[in-house]
Structure 1
Amino acid sequence: MIQQRPSFYSIIVLLCAVSFHGCGSKEGGSNTDLPIPEAEPLHIENALSDQEGQQGSGVKEFDGIQFHVPVGWKQVALTPAQQGMISASFQIPQAGDDVKLTLSSVGGGIDANLQRWKGQFQLPPGEAPLQETIRVDHVDAIWLDLRGTFDSGPAINSSVASGMRMIGVAIPRSPRDFYLKLTGPREQLLKAEKEFREFAKSARFVQ
């Protein structure tokens, strides 16, 4: 019996060693899964890039009107003050950081809103508002060009700035007319004027 004890204990040690090795192999197997989570940030970045691409150029609809948004324009989130009043807001980085475009549906009539726009500008001596008619999807729309000192009025984040320019387009619609309002420094707005005119004339009413 004394000679058999080492063999008995040897078997127990061997079994423990095998069990320990098996547990270690499971832990090693879990380590091989570590690279999988590392790939997730790349997937998220790609998704963000796709969203940014969708937010840029292409056909977009606002209040029942489709527009072809030029390449490079950036649609930005509405501020709390704009929500409920503004349909969409854009920045035009290639023209300048201070160039902004808003789209909205407003009641009250086109004449009253055009007068309100004119009241926001103090024109230099010898200058007058430039107004013309443009065709937008077989409808006559008003193009109004104002230059001078801009006073946004008694609104939230109101401001007064000289050397400004605003190009507004009023499109007759029912029950509320649709307005495009491009504002910014005069020299910067000049860079966006041609593209903005094409944007306005690209409007198509959704049936």
Structure 2
Amino acid sequence: MKTFLICALAALAVLSNGCDRDNVKVYHVAKEDSAAPPPDQIAAPEQMPTTQMQPSQQPQLQFTLPDGWQEIAPSQMRVASFTVTNANGQTADVGVIPLPATGREIQLVNMWREQMKLPALTNETAVETVSAGNDPAKLFDIASEQPLIDGKFRARILVAELTRGATSWFFKMTGEDSFVTAQKENFLQFLKSVLFVENIPAQISGTGLGSQNFLVPKTNTLVIGGAHSNSSANSIWTIPSGWQQLPPPEFLVAKFSIAGADGASAQVNVSSLAGDGGGFLANVNRWRGQLGLPPFAEADLLPYENGIDVIGSPYGIVDFVGTDSKTGKPSRLVGAIVPQNGHTWFYKLMGDGQIVAQQKDAFIKFIQSANYANARNAP
């Protein structure tokens, strides 16, 4: 598939796993709570329950895979991943991810819309209702107006979201506009085949279902934030003078604002994901996109990968100047990616160029001050 960097977290984007009618695959997911926790007890949508139950106690996700959909190894955050390819070499990526239900799932959809250079949805009146097995689901059909894939092809994302108990399930297909459009009916048929079944034994024989496979999904846990009353930014970092700590919104661990003269400002965002969080290149290109800059190729990263290690990371500090894609104002971004204890931490200082220049040293010292042992990590 032609390179199409749409991350959120990482990356976050996905669709479920299965096979043909004669060989239905069953995937193992964390048991849903009977009721969703209150919003102030959820750090962000990436946070997953960390308590694992025995396979015989867990509900199963069962479904049938359309013809031409091939299973591939799942990446971080995915229960499973698939690729779909046609004779012309067009490829689409599909997968599924469960996230704690927050009632704010539209924010994740708007993040994808932003990456497609589209305005945010203010309501869901235009959203189509489809069936995901026995459950109703919301279908978001997001098509770019610009050629975002290799600068030649428009992109399209199909996202179906359904909430069951304390869990929101996101089913996602991404690829070239024309190919995803052609695969839409298969996508909808896949959704109709989805079945959540409680307490299926790990081995089933004589049922006609064929081989049964179980998979415990990988989890992504944001480490601190408003949800964790026993953790605070002050216990993890030494916060520089003049930084105002703000309540972290969705997908962030911590957030700070720095005020300058004449209303100028800059912000510091911190997030954390399990594993590599989508990788160095993808996240650097996500930042470059926020400044309206073209994506880097692997070779462009060499100066940063071979940079001086000042932040406890194999990567150097990235420093870009461009135009803020949201405000249209000149902006500078300084970023750092720090792997720690099975998680990857993302630090970003962005805003008015003069403020960023003045705060760069303080930003680096802030990163260096991190005491990750005080962070509330998933086991």
TM-score for the superposition, normalised by structure 2: 0.33
Q: Partner residue of 2:110?
A: 115
Q: How has the CA–CA distance of structure 1 residues 162 and 72 changed in structure 2, closer, same or farther, with 3 Å as cutoff?
A: closer
Kindly state the Cα deviation for residue 187 of structure 1 after the two structures are TM-superposed. 1.2
Which whole-Å CA distance do the structure 2 matches of 1:116 and 1:123 have between them? 10
Q: Give the match for residue 84 of structure 2.
A: 92
Query: Residues 69 and 164 of structure 1: is their aligned pair in 2 closer, same or farther, counting only changes over 3 Å?
Result: same
Query: How large is the Cα RMSD of the aligned pairs?
Result: 3.0
Give the Cα separation in 1 of the matches to 2:151 and 2:159: 18
Superposed displacement of residue 75, structure 1: 0.5
Q: Which residue is equivalent to 1:180?
A: 171
Structure 2: runs of 5+ lacking an equivalent:
1-17, 30-59, 199-379
Deviation at 1:112, TM superposition (A): 2.8
Report how far residue 150 of structure 1 moved: 8.4
Question: What is the aligned partner in structure 1 of residue 155 from structure 2?
Answer: 164
> Is residue 130 of structure 2 the alignment partner of residue 134 of structure 1?
yes
**What is the CA-CA distance between 1:97 and the residue it aligns to?**
4.1
Deviation track 1:70-105 (CA, whole Å, cap 9, x = no partner) reads: 122101012xxx32x111110112375421101111
Structure 2 distance, partners of 1:150, 1:102, is 23
Q: 1 or 2, which has the higher helix percentage? A: 1
Q: 1:111 to 1:123 in 2, by over 3 A?
A: closer
* 1:101 alignment partner, one of 94, 98, 106: 94
- Please show how residues 1-207 of structure 1 align to structure 2 within 5 Å: 56-57=19-20, 58-62=23-27, 63=29, 64-78=60-74, 82-83=75-76, 85-94=77-86, 96-107=89-100, 108-109=102-103, 110-123=105-118, 131-148=127-144, 149=146, 163-207=154-198
Are 1:120 and 1:150, in contact at CA under 8 Å, matched by a contact in 2? no
* 3-state SS, counterpart of residue 94 of structure 2: strand
* Contact persistence 1:122–1:150 (CA under 8 A): no
Asked if the contact 2:129/2:139 (under 8 Å) is kept, the reply is yes
Q: Deviations over 1:92-150 (max 9, x none)?
A: 123754211011112244333223232222249xxxx9620112233221000000158
Deviations 1:17-74 (A, max 9, x none): xxxxxxxxxxxxxxxxxxxxxxxxxxxxxxxxxxxxxx85342233332111112210
1:206, distance to aligned residue in structure 2 (A): 0.9
Partner AA of 1:90 in structure 2: F
The whole-number CA distance in structure 2 between the counterparts of 1:160 and 1:140 is: 36
When structure 1 is superposed on structure 2, of 164-173 and 137-146 the one drifting more is 137-146
Whether the 8 Å contact between 2:63 and 2:195 is mirrored in structure 1 is yes
The more displaced of 176-185 and 104-113 is 104-113
Query: Contact 1:86–1:102 at 8 Å: present in 2 too?
Result: yes
Larger radius of gyration, structure 1 or 2?
A: 1
Percentage of identical aligned residues: 25
| Aligned mates of 1:119, 1:90 — CA distance in 2 | 24
> Which moved further from structure 2: 168-177 or 179-188?
168-177
Q: CA deviation at 1:161?
A: 7.8
8 Å CA contact 1:76, 1:90 repeated in 2: yes
Contact 2:153 2:177 in 1 (8 A): no
Gaps of 5+ in 1: 1-54, 152-158
Report deviation, 1:160.
8.3
